[in-house]
């Protein structure tokens, strides 16, 4: 019996991978296949030894012939189909006998599961390697057992995405390291708590088909995520386990935006033509719950919100790089299965770059740069546009008080944002973090945080991005690239940047922009919004403004949905940093 495995104890490092000599030939052939299909591209890969190690990160017993666990870890690799997408129709019928038996141990806890890999979830994929899914099912369910109170019939389905920077998301794997730091990732934790895991690969802005067309631009990523949900529902009577009425999404950064979009747009007819073109299953695509970390969303209003918070802070810390093959500030993808983020803003590397940022997030440098006069002028102009947008939403707090802004940016909505930061600081202070009392943007009296100064907060947090933060005048951002056409010509997505464009860039069409904004669908007739939401934005996250996820949370709450929204203290732009709390929350909904 062939074995592949990984275990972790206090004595064994989390990256101690083991695979038997008799599997080396199979591993070699697997990587040759990846190289020839364009999944791994030249020097963009991690070192081959690390990649092979990552691919053997579980103990597996082969039941029916399947390839070894794929471990696509190329940094900015463009996922490219090597054959025409019209020459094959993929079956949408789940094959229950094609799996491997695997287990993975961490500090004495062993998690056994069956792994079904490489499942193409649409009949006519634009790029098959980018539209496939891995499904993992706890082994106990095949012998009538239960895990954490769940059975094969009642187990929720955890649906994480690996999207970051609107780049392609890899099909996830369980792992015992998260972005280079020890500790199981969300997939392993989900399996340990009895969840079925469906982890789809998703097209991103660099995905190409065999003819070189860019087939991952907006709205491809949400179309793929919906198609994965439809595949699961189509196979609800064939899947050995998992309740397809309890599908729970999860994502970070652009992946958090994608998770929110999936939750907010269930069954919307707007996406039907795109789904039909791919041959997605004719099923519902609404979900039970959406978990969204630091979502880079509501893009057409994100520049306004950013300047509402950071206008007056005229230095920034974002590195510069071209948008195309190596998008702005792109960092290498971590080994497959690692979660997209860590809990703290990490120290600088030898090059002065802040490390351990989420995969494909904008690069952060420790050396500040000064904005130009034009950028400073634009900052104040964008800030002035934000109050009218906030006021147009007609939002209110839990007491029914309207949340609005005056022309100068102050008002009850600003007070609401202060209350979120105040609650975060108070929780940290109560737990013994006395450094809270030293911050000049907080007023602390007798152990209570009583006031928040947003202008001083902006200085303390620091501006990451120069104006405009997202829709760049020179079309250089990842978001400009996301709205590009099939020939990879980036586009503007706001009237402001379109009017001030350096390159006379085109404006993306209004329909495409709408398809990427969850705010446009909450409360819309014919749409089934997820009933449960958990949204997190770190108290020191400056990749987007707290106002953006706050507006999403408020609109959901005002529409009657269950929302758990917070800004955890000490967190920057990261996700999946509180896995116990995350799955405690989902358990509270599912049991």
Give the pLDDT mean for 337-356: 37
Give the pLDDT mean for 101-109: 97
**Burial (0-12, 13-18, 19+ Cβ within 10 Å), 359:** buried
Instruction: Please compute, for residue 104, the number of CA atoms within 13 A of its CA located in the half-sphere on the CB side.
Output: 30
Q: Is residue 287 pLDDT above 80, yes or no?
A: yes
Query: What are 73-101's pLDDT values in tens digits?
Result: 333 333 333 333 457 999 999 999 999 99
Coil, helix or strand for 538? coil
Q: What is the mean pLDDT of the chain?
A: 83
The string of DSSP letters for 79-148 reads: PB-SS-TTS-----S--TT--EEEEEEETTEEEEEEEEEEEE-SSS-SSGGGSEEEEEEEGGGGGT--BT
Q: Is residue 217 pLDDT above 60, yes or no?
A: yes
> Do 253 and 293 touch, CB atoms closer than 8 A?
yes
pLDDT at 357: 55
Angstrom distance (rounded) from CA 336 to CA 73: 6
Query: What are 505-525's pLDDT values in tens digits?
Result: 899 999 999 999 999 999 999
pLDDT at 363: 73
Q: Is residue 384 pLDDT above 70, yes or no?
A: yes
Q: Treating both helix axes as pointing N-terminal to C-terminal, what angle do 24-36 and 48-55 enclose, rounded to 10 degrees?
A: 110
Query: Which of 82-91, 176-185, 242-251 has the highest average model confidence (pLDDT)?
Result: 242-251
Q: Report how far apart the first and last C-alpha atoms of the chain are (Å, whole number).
A: 38
Q: Is residue 30 pLDDT above 70, yes or no?
A: no
Who contacts 252 (Cβ-Cβ below 8 Å, separation ≥6)? 164, 293, 294, 339, 340, 341, 358, 574, 575, 576
Q: Is residue 115 pLDDT above 60, yes or no?
A: yes
Q: What is the largest CA-CA distance in the chain?
A: 71
Architecture in CATH of 87-591: 3-Layer(aba) Sandwich (3.40)
Give the pLDDT mean for 114-119: 98
**Burial (0-12, 13-18, 19+ Cβ within 10 Å), 392:** exposed
pLDDT at 358: 62
Give the pLDDT mean for 390-397: 98
Angle (CA) 65-71-75 rounded to 5° is 155
- What residues does each domain of the chain span? 87-591
Higher pLDDT, 412 or 82: 412
């Amino acid at each position: 019996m062939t074995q592949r495995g990984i275990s972790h104890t206090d004595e064994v490092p989390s990256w101690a991978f083991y695979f038997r000599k008799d599997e080396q030939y199979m591993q070699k052939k697997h990587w040759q296949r990846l190289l020839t299909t364009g999944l791994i591209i030249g020097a963009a890969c991690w070192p081959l030894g690390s990649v092979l190690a990552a691919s053997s990160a579980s103990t597996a017993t082969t039941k029916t012939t399947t390839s070894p666990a794929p471990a696509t870890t190329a940094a900015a690799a463009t996922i490219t189909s090597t054959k025409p997408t019209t020459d094959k129709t993929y079956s949408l019928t789940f094959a229950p006998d094609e799996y491997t038996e695997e287990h993975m141990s961490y500090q004495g806890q062993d998690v056994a599961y069956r792994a079904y890999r490489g499942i193409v979830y649409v009949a006519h994929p634009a790029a098959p390697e980018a539209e496939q899914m891995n499904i993992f099912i706890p082994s106990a369910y095949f012998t009538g057992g239960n895990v954490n109170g769940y059975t094969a019939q009642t187990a929720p389905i955890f649906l994480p995405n690996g999207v970051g920077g609107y780049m392609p998301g890899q099909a996830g794997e369980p792992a015992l390291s998260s972005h280079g730091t020890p500790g199981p990732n969300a997939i392993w934790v989900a399996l340990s708590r009895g969840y079925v895991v469906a982890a789809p690969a998703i097209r991103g802005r660099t995905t190409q088909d065999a003819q070189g067309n860019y087939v991952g631009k907006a709205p491809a990523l949400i179309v793929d995520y919906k198609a994965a949900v439809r595949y699961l529902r189509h196979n609800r009577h064939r899947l050995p386990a998992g309740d397809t009425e309890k599908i729970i999404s999860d994502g970070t950064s652009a992946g958090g935006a994608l998770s929110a979009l999936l939750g907010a747009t269930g069954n919307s007819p707007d996406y039907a033509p795109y789904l039909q073109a791919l041959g997605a299953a004719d099923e519902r695509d609404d979900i039970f719950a959406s978990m969204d970390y630091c979502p880079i969303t509501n893009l057409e209003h994100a520049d306004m919100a950013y300047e509402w918070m950071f206008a007056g802070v005229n230095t920034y810390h974002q590195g510069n790089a071209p948008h195309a093959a190596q998008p702005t500030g792109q960092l290498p993808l971590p080994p497959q299965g690692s979660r997209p983020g860590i809990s703290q803003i990490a120290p600088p590397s030898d090059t002065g770059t802040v490390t351990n940022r989420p995969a494909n997030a904008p690069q952060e440098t420790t050396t500040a740069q000064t904005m130009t006069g034009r950028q400073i002028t634009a900052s104040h102009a964008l800030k002035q546009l934000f109050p009218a947008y906030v006021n147009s939403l007609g939002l209110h707090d839990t007491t029914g008080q309207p949340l609005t802004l005056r022309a100068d940016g102050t008002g009850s909505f600003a007070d609401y944002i202060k209350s979120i930061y105040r609650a975060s600081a108070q929780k940290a202070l109560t737990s013994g973090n006395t450094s809270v009392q030293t911050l000049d943007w907080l007023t602390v009296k007798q152990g209570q945080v009583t006031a928040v100064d947003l202008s001083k907060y902006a200085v303390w947090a620091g501006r990451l991005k120069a104006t405009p933060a997202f829709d760049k005048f020179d079309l250089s951002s990842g978001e400009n690239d996301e709205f590009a056409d099939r020939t990879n010509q980036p586009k503007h997505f706001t009237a402001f940047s379109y009017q001030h464009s350096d390159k006379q860039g085109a404006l993306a069409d209004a329909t495409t922009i709408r398809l990427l904004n969850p705010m446009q669908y909450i409360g819309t007739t014919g749409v089934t919004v997820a009933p449960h939401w958990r949204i997190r934005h770190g108290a020191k996250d400056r990749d987007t403004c707290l106002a953006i996820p706050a507006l999403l949370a408020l609109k959901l709450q005002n529409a009657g949905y269950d929302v758990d929204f917070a800004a955890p203290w000490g967190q920057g732009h990261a996700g999946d940093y509180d896995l116990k709390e995350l799955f405690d929350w989902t358990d509270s909904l599912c049991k």
